[in-house]
Amino acid sequence: MREPGNVKRVESLGENWRMDDEWWRQPIVRRYVEVVLEGGGRVVLFEDLITGEWFVQT
């Protein structure tokens, strides 16, 4: 996983889940993945399934 100035290897993938919400307004459709990084850190990434972009859940 690459963050500005900080590149880490993904050790393993945890649970993945999906969210569909606010379809009546500005639809939110996301696929989340829990990622275990080298060194034991955990982050949650999500893909916006409408635009195809990936984000880190903060």
Partner 1 sequence: MYTELHCHSAFSFLDGASLPEQLALTASQLGLSALALTDHNGLYGAMAFAQAAKQLGLQAITGAELTLLDGSHVTLLAETPEGYANLCRLITEAHLGREDRRDPRLDFASLEARHAGLIVMSGCREGLLPTVLQTHGRQAARRLAERCKAAFGPENFFVELQRNYVRGDLPLTRALIDLAADVGLSVVASGNVHYHKRERHRLHDVLVAIRHRTTLDGSHHVRRANSEFFLRPPQEVEMLFGDCLDAVANTNALAERCRSFDLTRDLGYRFPDFHGAARAPAPQALAEMCRARLEERYLAGSEHHVLAVRRLDEELRLIEHHGLSGFFLVYNDLFDLAREVGADVRRGSRRARGNLLPGRGRGSSVSSIVCYLLGLSHIDPIANGLFLGRFLNESLASVPDIDLDFPREIREELIRRVYKRYGDEHVGLVCSFPTYRLRSTVREIGKALDLPQGEIEQVAKLSDSRTDGLSDEIERLPGFAGRRNAPLWKELCELAEEIAGLPRHVSQHVGGMIISSRPLVEIVPLERAAMEDRVVCQWDKDSCDDARFIKIDFLALGMLSLVEECVELVAEREGAPPDLSRIDFKDPAVYDRICRGDTVGLFQIESRAQIQMLRRTRPRNLEDLAVEVAIVRPGPIVGGAVNPYVRRREDQRRAREAGRPYKPPLDHPLLESALAETLGVILYQDQVLQVCQALAGFTAGQAEALRRAMSRRRSRELMAGFWEEFRDGAAARGVPPATAERVFTQVIAFSEFGFPKSHAAAFGLLAYQSAWLRHYHPAEYYCALFNNQPMGFYSLDALGRDAKRNGVEIRLPDVNESDVWCTVDLTPFPPLLAGEGGRNAVRVGLGFVRDWSEETATAVVLERERNGRYRSIGDFVRRAPPNLKRTAIEHLVWVGGCDGFGLTRRELLWQVGLWLPPENGRGSGGDARVRRQLELSLDHPYEGLRFGDLVPAERMLAEYGVLGFAPSGHPLSLLRASLPAGVVQSDALPKLEHGVRVEVAGLVVARQRPETAKGFVFVLLDDVAGMVNVIVRPDVYDRYRATIRGEPLLWIAGKLAKDDGTVNVIAEEAQGLKVGTRNAERGTNSESDSSAFPLPHSAFAFLKSMRRVAPDSKDWG
Binding interface with partner 1 (CB under 8 A): 14-21, 23-25, 31-32
The nearest distance, CB 3 to partner 1, in angstroms, is 23
Nearer to partner 1, 3 or 15 (CB): 15
> Which residues touch 34 (CB under 8 Å, ≥6 apart)?
13, 14, 15, 16, 42, 43, 44
> Which residues touch 2 (CB under 8 Å, ≥6 apart)?
none
Nearer to partner 1, 10 or 28 (CB): 28
The nearest distance, CB 54 to partner 1, in angstroms, is 17
